[in-house]
Structure 1
Amino acid sequence: MDGGGRAGARAALLTAAVLGIALVVVIVVRTPWEVLPEPPGGHTAPDPAAGLAPAQLDRAEAFAAALRPASLLSMALGLAVSAVLGLTRLGGRLVHAVAAPLGGRWFVQVLVGVPALVVVGRLATLPVSAYAETVRRRYGLSTRGWGLWLRDVAVSVAISAALTAVVVLVVLWLVRRAPRTWWAWAGGAAAALVVIGSFLYPVVIEPAFNSFEPLPAGELRTDLLALADENGTPVQDVLVSDASRRTTALNAYVSGFGSTRRIVLYDTVLAELPEEEIESIVAHELGHVATDDVLTGTLMGALGAGAATALAGWLLTRRALLRRAGAESPGDPRVVPLLLFLVAVGGLVSTPVQNLVSRQIEERADLHALDLTRDPEAFTAMQRRLATANLGDPDPPAAWHWFFGSHPTTAQRIAMAEDWRRLERSR
């Protein structure tokens, strides 16, 4: 590596460190670490059973016990396949081989090589996914036929492959055009892509899996629109998703920004929950809007993407790493499997941090729902009904929840509702 190359590598590493520190600062400042003050007499101890009947509890625990090994195996298989393709010459040979019949130019290798790598990785985990789908069907959580399941898998793979191919194509183009500073340009592009994706997801990706119809005029629609107005975050529409084609699970969410912001209810929610519990769910989702959680998540994602890209810029100056992948330079298409492996490792390492932040943000949204509706009974009943319908373990193992838990447990959420009630009585 010449002097300019060493300087570029040092700049990339320094940039990764600075952006990483900025990310930590944003996480520390923007994450609500203490959501609810301690009520008189101390916080309520979570009931591990969360008030569920023994039969419901046994069913949820049996479902989790059947599904958790599959989740771990799928994660391990995906990472192992990515490592084999990225840390050996096998991945580079695959990229070259699939592009050879089309001329084999570098951009062709990217455009057909990335989908090939994505498909190989997905095929490796497909049997585990099929087993998990079998478990969901056995417990009545999935209503999909195998044809729709395969269609969903195919659409998901196609979207992932297409988006990844475009991103990698831009990265390699930048590497070839600006070999010493590509990581800076790519980091900016990655951050911008996170922001753009947040805006486009509700109008581009969501319709690929579900159909949406406006909630008919009536008391519920009027009340939900009024709730959004009271929240200070008016929405453009209330939509119903045809989720029952795939699941019996209950859910609702608010997506989009400005003119695309809308409340979305699963049709299963309309069928199963009374109006006051639907309002409690929606109030929780409106809490995310009121506190700009999507914008905060977008900022965190943009900083994380920028830091990861700069770190990749430093790693790809390591000749030993390039040789292991069979690539001659960072601009060689044979580096693509290595890039995808680095992304997979980064995603795995960042998962517990993302979920820690998510749990705190979700807890704040729960508090917002209680403050907005003033109905802890409906909130508690809704949490129990969600746990029953979605087969959620109300008190999962601590290590599992630390790594995979994106929301507080049902037991924790019900205990917080009791704390809120006690605080309100003491005022």
Structure 2
Amino acid sequence: MADDPDFTPEQVARGRALRREQLPWMLGGALTALALTLVLGLTPAGAGLVTWAGGLFGGSRTAEVLGGAAALAVLGQLVRLPFGARVRTVRARYGLVTQGWGGWALDAVRGLALGLALLLPAALGLYALTDRSPTRWWIPGAALAALLVAALSFLHPLLIEPVFNRFTPMPEGPLRGALLGLAERDGVRVREVLVADASRRTTALNAYVSGLGSTRRIVAYDTLLATAEPREVELVVAHELGHVKHRDVLTGTLLGALGAAAAVAVTGLAATWQPLLDAAGADSAADPRSLPLLAALVALIAAATGPLQAAASRRIEARADRHALELTNDPAQFIAMQRRLAITNVSDVDPPRLLVLLFATHPSATRRITAARTWHPVEGPADP
């Protein structure tokens, strides 16, 4: 990396230093939350928590379901907060944070409230199913989980994104016309081009295409528009259009739905094993005291499948890069865009292989630049 032609030694060292400083806290938060989930799910402590939380609201079965689900969510949030605060402090030292502590805390409250708004109805529905069939509840539960994932994918840009950001239409002008022209040439229908007020939280650069069908829109961070050259913005959007062109959002939604269904099925089958129920202090899956056990099983499935999901994501992102090159036929500007993103976002441009295999959802900056340098147009240059 000392002789990297794209990044100075100082830029490489800065990205590595940020990664080394924040990674222990990020991993610590994730592992601590997982450990808490396993302790509550695989010991009677979780059953006691559900009983206590339900007792605060009358002690009925419904109260135990709602109280137990809320208690698990709040504890999970609380145990992550110190680690998240430390990560924020580290990133602030590198100039990546523009938001004050008050805004950070408000976002944490908003995230918790949104999570509870989704979790509590789902928990009620789950235990309505277990009440009807303590051993086969997972069959309709898997189908409903798949439908929920699909619905959230469609509604995310309309209901969830506005909770954390304000969006304004991009003003008429050459850049907006160029972005819409890219989408038209690509055969992708977008509803609108929006600007997200990311600068009130961060200096990081990004853009994305979100939504399905009638909710699809191009979204650019205001930090990107204020920092990057217009052609670089086009390259970022061209990459995002690649996800739409290859139906990555739809495919991801379908795979997410299938994954959710499979997770519910595996969880339901595992929750019929009496030794697990005994360890958790629950009589059956219909007992609200089984809630921490179900949460622990889901957490284990998520942790085990994480590297596979990351590997699939890296392949998808590399394909979107190729699409951006094919759409624009501008590898030089693509390389300039990747350099700007890596430097401004203080990325580790060539992280250790083990970290890539376990966690990376995108190829490293050096790999993306190398791929751009070796890319050659297959069908000639793109239309002007």
Normalising by the smaller structure, the TM-score range is over 0.9
SS at match of 1:143: coil
Which residue number corresponds to residue 189 of structure 2? 234
Q: Normalized against structure 1, the TM-score is what?
A: 0.87
Letter in 1 for 2:249: V
Which residue number corresponds to residue 306 of structure 2? 351
Contact 1:143/1:245 (8 A) holds in 2: yes
Which residue number corresponds to residue 210 of structure 1? 165
Which residue number corresponds to residue 80 of structure 1? 35
Question: How far did residue 168 of structure 1 move?
Answer: 2.1
Contact 1:283/1:368 (8 A) holds in 2: yes
Matches within 5 A, 1:193-272: 193-272=148-227
Q: Aligned pair in 2 of structure 1 residues 276, 171: CA closer, same or farther (>3 Å)?
A: same
1:21-58 deviation digits (Å, cap 9, x = unpaired) = xxxxxxxxxxxxxxxxxxxxxxxxx9984611121111
Which residue number corresponds to residue 386 of structure 1? 341
Give ranges in structure 2 of 5+ residues lacking alignment. none
Matches within 5 A, 1:6-405: 49=4, 51-405=6-360
Question: How far did residue 354 of structure 1 move?
Answer: 0.4
Contact 1:50/1:394 (8 A) holds in 2: no
Contact 1:110/1:168 (8 A) holds in 2: yes
1:296-330 deviation digits (Å, cap 9, x = unpaired) = 11111111111111111211111111111111111
Contact 1:50/1:414 (8 A) holds in 2: no
% of aligned pairs identical?
49
In 1, the alpha carbon distance for the partners of 2:214 and 2:167 equals: 16
**RMSD over aligned Cα atoms:** 1.7
In 2, the alpha carbon distance for the partners of 1:241 and 1:101 equals: 41
Q: Normalized against structure 2, the TM-score is what?
A: 0.96
Contact 1:277/1:379 (8 A) holds in 2: yes
In 1, the alpha carbon distance for the partners of 2:341 and 2:100 equals: 23
Contact 1:238/1:262 (8 A) holds in 2: yes
Question: How far did residue 181 of structure 1 move?
Answer: 2.3
Contact 2:239/2:321 (8 A) holds in 1: yes
Letter in 1 for 2:326: D
SS at match of 2:261: helix
Letter in 2 for 1:225: L
Q: Aligned pair in 2 of structure 1 residues 424, 412: CA closer, same or farther (>3 Å)?
A: farther
List 4+ stretches of structure 1 deviating above 2 A.
46-50, 178-181, 421-425
Q: Aligned pair in 2 of structure 1 residues 297, 50: CA closer, same or farther (>3 Å)?
A: farther
In 2, the alpha carbon distance for the partners of 1:158 and 1:357 equals: 31
Question: How far did residue 166 of structure 1 move?
Answer: 1.9
Contact 1:91/1:334 (8 A) holds in 2: yes
In 1, the alpha carbon distance for the partners of 2:80 and 2:246 equals: 37
1:237-259 deviation digits (Å, cap 9, x = unpaired) = 10000000000000000001222
Q: Aligned pair in 2 of structure 1 residues 72, 238: CA closer, same or farther (>3 Å)?
A: same
Question: How far did residue 103 of structure 1 move?
Answer: 1.4
In 1, the alpha carbon distance for the partners of 2:283 and 2:135 equals: 15
Question: How far did residue 422 of structure 1 move?
Answer: 8.2
Q: Aligned pair in 2 of structure 1 residues 301, 228: CA closer, same or farther (>3 Å)?
A: same
In 2, the alpha carbon distance for the partners of 1:316 and 1:411 equals: 45
In 2, the alpha carbon distance for the partners of 1:102 and 1:228 equals: 53
Question: How far did residue 101 of structure 1 move?
Answer: 2.9
In 2, the alpha carbon distance for the partners of 1:117 and 1:272 equals: 42
SS at match of 1:234: coil
Structure 1 residue corresponding to 2:367, chosen from 407, 412, 417: 412
Question: How far did residue 98 of structure 1 move?
Answer: 1.6
Letter in 2 for 1:254: V
How many residue pairs end up in the alignment?
Answer: 381
Larger RCO: 1 or 2 (CA < 8 Å, sep 6+): 1
Letter in 2 for 1:173: A
Contact 2:224/2:233 (8 A) holds in 1: yes
In 1, the alpha carbon distance for the partners of 2:226 and 2:5 equals: 23
Letter in 1 for 2:105: L
Give ranges in structure 1 of 5+ residues lacking alignment. 1-45
SS at match of 1:265: strand
Q: Aligned pair in 2 of structure 1 residues 49, 80: CA closer, same or farther (>3 Å)?
A: farther
